[in-house]
A and B are shown apart, each in its own frame.
Chain A
């Protein structure tokens, strides 16, 4: 159970996230939507403390995440894996080593810096890659893979952390529709194994297709929180003052993504 209590982040004059409170039960797949600058990324980054909150608390199974320091903080980050829009793989390392990065926090510093991983960990990494049909690429350099493949490698890395939560910040914004689907399928798959997934999305149709629950942000505040069917075109217009198509185009343009799928096609 992840509990977010009146979480706030200010950047100078601007309030990026403004008193957000959410309660997310274990195993849920939550889509966070909102226009560019609504505070989606800031919210996610505060959950693993890549960004420090200005006020408010985050509790996970009763532990106050916002108070963690040092090793305890690194342990929390291991438990709360992150997927980035630009994958954030180390391009010049092979795929296998990139995935094994997910084990670093569990290894003694010296052996891990020498790239000494156990056979068991290597087998785990290969199994995680195999799950996304990428085992054969294990010894290639990461930059030889396509964007969609790289994002799935990033998910494999996240799985090696054996996380309780996966935070995905616009994971498909840099991908074409077919690759976007394989990545979202992969995220939904690991969610079915019991990992809570919080995913920032610019595409409403994708959020509706894949998520159990949608949270909409506007100017840092939660303006909708409910199951996908409740987020009707009517609600979108009430919340954002634009039609769903306009919302999708604007959001896609803001993240530099390919044009959005037509909702009618997405629903099929």
Chain B
């Protein structure tokens, strides 16, 4: 192929164009200085944080070799003598995650509708609800777990309540956003046919957002199964307690077994929920 330039089309004078549209030739000197300054502040912050926490290569290297020792102790993984307890703990964790997520998802649906701009037009009410939810979201699941352990005592009930409280706020926000992104026209069709406000929400909006809501709840179930293990460490039931005990007495081979069991469990949940999500979102069949 010859590299002949195509006739005429590409004659362009840089100076003329730079004069006509300076912004097209990149940032001005002032803006560029500002950008460099911004990056400099960012880099300084990064370095200061590293220095503050004494993150020297030597310390990280020493830590890695410690980790290596633990890894060696983990091989071969072993269920130990109390494997029934381990299985019970795992089942308890999954049950906690399921119950907590399920209850949170149920409560989050009405809250989501109440927090959606296109459903609730009273700004003050919607604003206060959203700020309240933001407040709840600001407190981590683990803090809730610690509080509930004091309130209702050790055991899975505290874990379920912690997952429930922490997830309501997040799910309600996600649901509200999904509802705000729903198409108005479909609800308008229901109103035009003589439907009331509730009917337009039920038949015009809900069928659009229900699959999204369910898919998100499934994601949360999966992620809560993982975090439910942590809740056990603070006494809120589940497999975490088993792990914490074994770490304390350095039975690393049993810890490894529990970790493998957790990975397998999460993989199974991920597989099943993935299939359900694909059916929900891919399928053309109408949700009810």
Contact = CB atoms under 8 A, between A and B. Distances in A.
Interface of A: 60-61, 63, 75-76, 79, 96, 119-120, 122-128, 131, 135, 138-139, 159, 162-164, 190, 193-195
Given A76-B1, A162-B6, A190-B9, A119 B14 contact: yes
A126 B9 contact: no
Contact of B2 (A61, A124, A125, A131): A61
Nearest to B13: A123
Interface string B14-48: 10111011011100000000000000000000000
B59 interface: no
Contacts of B23: 139
Given A60-B1, A162-B5, A193-B6, A120 B12 contact: yes
B18 A123 contact: yes
Among B9, B10, B17, B25, chain A packs the most CB atoms within 10 A around the CB of B9
Contacts of B18: 119, 123
Contact of B17 (A63, A123, A164, A190): A123
19 contacts: A63-B1, A75-B1, A119-B14, A119-B18, A120-B12, A122-B24, A125-B24, A126-B12, A126-B17, A126-B20, A126-B24, A159-B10, A162-B5, A162-B6, A162-B10, A163-B6, A164-B1, A193-B7, A193-B8
Interface residues of B, number: 20
- The main secondary structure of chain B at its interface with chain A is loop
Contact of A138 (B8, B11, B21): B21
Interface string B196-236: 00000000000000000000000000000000000000000
A76 to B, nearest CB: 7
Contact of A122 (B5, B7, B25): B25
A194 B6 contact: yes
Contacts of A76: 1
Contacts of B2: 61
Interface of B: 1-2, 5-14, 16-18, 20-21, 23-25
A236 B7 CA distance: 37
B39 to A, nearest CB: 14
Contacts of A119: 14, 18, 25
A125 B2 CA distance: 23
Contacts of A124: 10, 12
A127 to B, nearest CB: 4
Given A125-B24, A138-B21, 4 more contacts: A63-B1, A127-B17, A163-B6, A194-B7
A193 B9 contact: yes
Contacts of A194: 6-7
B9 A135 contact: no
A193 B5 CA distance: 11
Nearest to A61: B1
Among B5, B13, B21, chain A packs the most CB atoms within 10 A around the CB of B21
B6 A195 contact: yes
Contact of B21 (A79, A126, A163, A193): A126
Contacts of A139: 21, 23-24
A1 to B, nearest CB: 12
A131 B9 CA distance: 9
B12 A127 contact: yes
A135 B24 CA distance: 10
A100 B216 CA distance: 39
Nearest to A128: B9
Given A119-B25, A135-B21, A138-B21, A127 B10 contact: yes
A212 to B, nearest CB: 18
A187 B2 CA distance: 23
A67 B10 CA distance: 30
Contacts of B25: 119, 122
Given A126-B24, A194-B7, A79 B12 contact: no
B281 to A, nearest CB: 23
B26 to A, nearest CB: 8
